[in-house]
Structure 1
Amino acid sequence: HKVDHAYSTPAEHHHPMEPHASVAVWESPEKLTLYDATQGVGLTGAIAAYFLGLKQENVRVIAPYVGGGFGSKGLWLHTLLVAIAAKAAGRPVKLALTRQMMQTNVGHRAATFQRVALATDDAGKLSVVRHHTDTYNNLTQFFEPSGKQSLVLYQAPLREVTYNVAQLNRGTPTFMRAPGETPGTFALESAMDEMAHELKMDPVEFRIANHTTKDPMHGHDFSSEFLLDCYRIGAEKFGWSNRSMEPRQKRNGKFLVGYGMATATYPGGRSAASVKVHMNAKGDVTVMTASIDIGTGTYTVLAQTAADGLGIPVERIDVKIGDSTLPAAPLAGGSQTTASIHPAAMEACVLLRKELAALAIADQGSKLFGRKDDELAFANGKLFIKGNESSAEAYTDILSRAKREEIEACATTLPVSGAGLTVPSALCTPRETPPEENSDIKKYAFHSFGAQFAEVWVDEDFGTIRVKRFTSVQDVGRIMNEKTARSQIIGGVIFGIGAALMEATEYDKRWGNVATRTLADYHVPVHLDVPPIDVHFIGKPDPHISPIGARGIGEIGITGVSAAIANAVFNATGKRVRDLPLTPDKLI
């Protein structure tokens, strides 16, 4: 059995709510402060220093809050121009891009033209997976790697992923939420649905039959993988058993009703990161790292991690991020922030507790005098002998007797995978812990997985499509905060609904400029377009990515969404649309 079809996705733009903006202030002829809407203060500072001929430590970048980025907020030329203008003017200069400028100046997701060929035996076992992508770039080396997931998902003895990349003068393609996997899962998961229909197999059962627990390309076990649970839980929660195998069998008045599903996947990255934890004599704690909160809840979850690590209320924690002078952390991209900074934060808390224990153990006036560190436990802002809470001593009392106004510790963790840029000079100074030696790096493949289920209603007369409900089940390791994690998946699903039904950047064929220059022309989902989204997590920690056990969650939510919707449209109408977005003209 064979399927061999072409699938296409359009160019798309990020459209974060907050526009790109920069403020440049020269503190001296050789010292620059940039207030920038950036996803990485360390990255922006390092690049700006290079191009402006400054020492890296003389460029400070501040970005306490960023109103969305989705991959678009790296360093672009307007930030350098603002710095040059401020120096020429001898005063601070601010520049904010208009929505129209954001269509040309800060990158986009390139269009893709993909061809996927699958072959199976009569039992539905895949024997061949071929995935070819035609796309383009500009002056940069980045292109949309739409075949990535075809190297990870499903068993198949023969596998080929190829690219043809043309260089076009059409704006600069760049990273956009789940680069590669977003358009790539549309093609692969649509083809999987087509093969299941050809075989007369249930799409979930077809995927289960070809499930793999190893990275197909390298033979490594996945560090933690519960995709079969995602399928099972998703099918149960969604009511997949009510789906008809044949299209056009379900109706609700004038609407054709269809069910579709797809697999989600995204790499589990972790980059080098450092976190410093400081406690004052009153027991108030400050957690510091040069990470960014782009709407993902970094402030909240980092405070929770420190509260757990020190056994104190979260209200006593102050989090400082978004400043390149703080201990280095990777940019907020590649779904790596949680997996990178939280192990370092927890280790810094452990080191701080050991410093406090050392003070108490050496203090003849302490109930803990002469004890060993491993005999002590902690809770409620106190240290005590295990099994003897009456021996408890508050952190503040330990500091007071030692005549210490403050105490701090800093920890660094090394990467597992990922492309985050860190700044070595800012890793844990002045106190640095030896980076951990993680032998799991070469033993395991690090990926997250999920299952996406969609119900659509299609107006048979007008071809309009409504996603009526959506279920997403994700295997992303330990969940650090249920509320912020759920928010990330919901945001990804909404992004995917936009990609499936409406988003497309149109170019004027006469002049080559972008025609969809505002949100009046470039359509994104509004509240009425978004259905109830039911999110579930497997929640089992990944023991190999870090002691915390959490993988990133910011991008996997979008993967597979457009395919699930397209597959549901086929189940509703019997018409297979292989070109996004799924607009009414393609169904009538």
Structure 2
Amino acid sequence: MTALQQRTGSVGTPVDRVDGVAKTTGTARFSAEHTYPGLTYAAVVHATISRGRITAIDTTRAADIAGVIKVITPENAPPLKPAPRVSMLNMSSIVSGTSVNYLQDNEVHWDGQPVAVVVAETSEAAKEAAALVDVTYRTTESSVDFVTARLQAQVQKGNPLLPAGAKKGDAAAALAGAAVSVDAEYTTPPYNHNALEPHSTTAAWDGDRLTVHDATQSIGWFRTHLALRFGIPEANVRVIAPYVGGGFGGKAFVWPGTVLAALAARATGRPVRLTLTREGVYRTVGGRTPSIQRVALGATQDGKLTALIHQSVARVGRTGGMPEQITTQSRHLYAAENILLEQRAVEQDVLPTTSMRAPGESIGTFALESAIDELADVLGIDPIDLRMHNEPDRDPVDGKPFAHRMLREAYAEGARRFGWSARSPQPRSMNDGRWLVGMGVASAFHPLMLFTSNVTVRLSADGTVLVRCGFQEMGMGGATVQGQIAADALGVPFDAVRVEYGDSALPSAPMAGGSMQTASVANSILEACAKIRASLESLAKRSGAVGQAPKAVLAKAGVPHVEAAVGSDTRLGKVTGQMRMMRQVMRDRRYLRAATGAHFCEVRVDQDTGELRVSRWTSVFDVGRVINPKTAGSQLRGGIIMGIGMALAEETLFDPRTGRIMNPSLAEYHLPVHADIPAIDVSWLGDPDPTMPLGLLGLGEVGITGVAAAVANAVHHATGRRVRDLPITLDKLVP
């Protein structure tokens, strides 16, 4: 800890979130709460087939509804440019939710695709009219059943940021010759995003200038995308999102609602607000892919892994999608002598899949960590001992050094806090009256990405600090944490720092995704603050104020403020920024950086009814230095709760004949509620990563990884039943 940090004490302090009062008192305005003169409301008409063409659209009944201004269809929609092809050289291209050019032709690519938009004076009129738009289709053959299509899956292509496979030695031969082995298939269903705030956009045009209030977690890349789609200069687009009611990956991409709101505003010449219904979110915003995974492990009699095979099949839409990096953790968690990782994906006529908290690792750790538990059971070895026996000293595949890894310490501390030593090793050997009691563990793992970020920092003569950066705040406390970092870096109280964020008019920042935002922005803030300190030293020498406080230095020098910038959003600045990012990526390739952790779960299962309850939970994480324990604990607990939902309840049900989602509402898509979640004991080791700014690691996503496996492993210990297909529902546990 630096002298400045010791003096102000902001970093490491459980500070309340700076946006907490605004959100709890209702003064915070979200994207659907901004008003404009002449504001109108839009509603979407969804396709009811999975593949085909529109042969006719009758808008007569819709247009007759009082208050309807316009019904926009492919016959009268303003022109729209197609989405750009995905390229790592144009990072904004990756936020295209789909490749569909909305309302520009009569093609239908998935059940739920928008085929018309109604604009009206009131939301009620728009929704009523949308239900009266009559669409006729000619259907063509489609592929929507994931299970039957798995045989058509093709090898998934990777990229420098997201590898899709790995090979070390001859894993198949090693498995065949192993003294002990397990070889099993695991499945996870599709999942849908259910953020508290549905996707909403308020769009307004002023000539050829577009202002968009959007529930986005990718402000800068949204801006670039919208400029390309509407053929206007990027400087003419402003995206504003100071408050976002949850994202989890579902708001990282540009989905139809955003584009159609802006399209409708252009078509009508009036501001438009488009808020998706909960069903509309399911039908137009991508969710997590289903998966079929094979994990095969070979080992010696004493538990040394000789073979690790992890193969997966995922789904993408024919018009785009994000195939998850399901085998990523299997590259890094265990020191197997031979490793084979393969990922495949099948294209189908469904809404493209997208990122969802810890894409890949969430579902990949379920299969891997369940298989490790199965191997421990066959060997008769404690599952923690088996993991520690195979804990690597370097990355198992490419031999890179770990930048920071304290998984052994996390397991030791977690076992102590949880009381693991009281566990009887045999399944069905522990009970409390009619309840069978089980304990399970699993490893958490999530790799770290570090991007570049542009910021400006100003220190004024009155001692206040202004930080400006267009990062996103989705409730995780980003603005609070960055204020703490700036306060310590400049030696001022936290209350003296104000952070401006959530606006594309500010210096650009990467998306809030990949657990990278905090570190990426902090890196630039620290650099800007170092420049300010250098300027202060120079001013102090010239004015004779060496050793005095910043306020005194500025006052004596007669300077109102000192400002420093890192990065620039000019054309030259963007080129330079791309070079900065590439240099950073190359530097980062020297190490494996990742957050890790150990989950401990206790479950109780009714012997007669199969009723399942998670009764205790302890997790210990290695996430480097924690800037704000209050917000960090909230993030990690939120991930664990989301993982418990994945384990026990969540499942998007697709009709295998039509591709239609059959449970597109919170009444039918089951999420955990307070009664389902026990008190969650969360802690962290607090040891800084020496290769990271302030030693911090991303922690927004690691919490969910391994959770489903810990639950499934506890269920097996309680009941003797091994559940390999999520969710763990009652029918899988009844006697």
Moved more, 245-254 or 422-431: 422-431
C-alpha displacement of 1:404: 2.6
Q: Identify the match of residue 625 of structure 2 among 464, 471, 478.
A: 478
- What is residue 207 of structure 2 aligned with on the other side? 28
**How many equivalent residue pairs?**
552
Q: Name 1:387's counterpart in structure 2.
A: none
Given candidates 391, 395, 404, the residue that maps to 1:211 is: 391
One-letter code of the match for 2:733? L
Contact 1:448 1:476 survives alignment (8 Å):
yes
Match status 1:557 vs 2:703: yes
Counterpart of 2:453? 273
Q: Superposed, which structure 2 residues align to 1:36-435 within 5 Å?
A: 36-73=214-251, 74-138=253-317, 139-363=319-543, 366-368=544-546, 384=547, 392=548, 394-412=549-567, 425=571
Q: Deviations over 1:165-189 (max 9, x none)?
A: 1111122110000111111111000
- The structural deviation recorded for 1:56 is 1.5
Distance 1:434 1:467, change over 3 A: closer
Equivalent-residue separation in structure 1 for 2:588 and 2:722 (angstroms): 41
Match of 1:578 in 2: 724
CA shift for structure 1 position 436: 11
Provide closer, same or farther for how the CA distance between residues 423 and 234 of structure 1 changes in structure 2, counting only shifts above 3 A: farther
Matching residue of 2:5: none
Q: What CA deviation, in whole Å up to 9, does each residue of 1:136-164 have, x standing for no partner?
A: 11121521221111111101121111123
One-letter amino acid of the structure 2 residue matched with residue 234 of structure 1: G
- Closer/same/farther in 2, CA of residues 155 and 107 from structure 1, 3 Å limit: same
| Aligned partner of residue 609 in structure 2, secondary structure | coil
Quick check: 1:477–1:538 contact (8 Å CA) kept in 2?
Answer: yes
Q: Judging changes above 3 Å, is the alpha-carbon distance between structure 1 residues 106 and 141 closer, same or farther for their aligned structure 2 residues?
A: closer
Which residue identity does 1:540 align to in structure 2? D
Please, which runs of 5 or more residues in structure 1 have no aligned partner?
369-383, 385-391, 413-421
State the Cα RMSD in Å.
Answer: 2.1
Residue aligned with 1:44, SS:
helix
Question: How far apart are residue 469 of structure 1 and its match?
Answer: 0.9
Moved more, 71-80 or 8-17: 71-80
Equivalent residue, structure 1, for 2:614: 467
Q: Secondary structure at the match of 1:221?
A: coil
Gap runs ≥5 in structure 2: 1-179
CA–CA distance in structure 1, aligned partners of residues 557 and 620 of structure 2: 51
Distance 1:429 1:309 in 2: 28
Q: Give the distance between the partners of 2:472 and 2:322, measured in 1 at CA.
A: 23
Distance 1:481 1:258 in 2: 34
Corresponding residue SS for 1:190: helix
- Per the alignment, do residues 131 and 367 of structure 1 end up closer, same or farther by CA in structure 2, a change over 3 Å counting? closer
Supply the distance in 2 between the matched residues of 1:423 and 1:464 (Cα, whole angstroms). 56
Over 3 Å counting, the alpha-carbon distance change for 1:458 and 1:87 in structure 2 is same
Q: Cα 1:430–1:309, aligned 2, differ >3 Å: closer, same or farther?
A: farther
Give the Å deviation of 1:526: 0.5
Q: How many angstroms apart in 2 are the aligned matches of 1:520 and 1:454?
A: 28
For 1:54, the aligned partner's letter is I
Counterpart residue number, 1:376: none
Residue in structure 2 matched with residue 377 of structure 1 by the alignment: none
| 1:284 Cα deviation after fit | 1.7
Whole-angstrom CA distance in 2 between matches of 1:547 and 1:449: 18
Counterpart secondary structure, 2:718: helix
> C-alpha distance in 2, partners of 1:28/1:278?
34
Of 641, 655, 662, 1:515 maps to: 662
Amino acid in the other structure paired with 1:516:
N
One-letter code aligned to 2:536: L
Alpha-carbon distance, 1:568 to partner = 0.2
| Alpha-carbon distance in structure 2 between the residues aligned to 1:279 and 1:163 | 50
The two structures have a TM-score, normalised by structure 1, of 0.91
State the AA in 2 paired with 1:39.
Answer: Q
Counterpart residue identity of residue 697, structure 2: R
- 2:101 — aligned with what? none
Match of 1:12 in 2: 191
CA distance in 2, matches of 1:442, 1:178: 20
Give the residue type in structure 2 aligned to 1:408: E
Cα distance, 1:547 vs structure 2: 3.3
1:454 to 601, 604, 614: 601
Distance in 1, matches of 2:246 and 2:595, equals 22
Alignment partner, residue 378 of structure 1: none
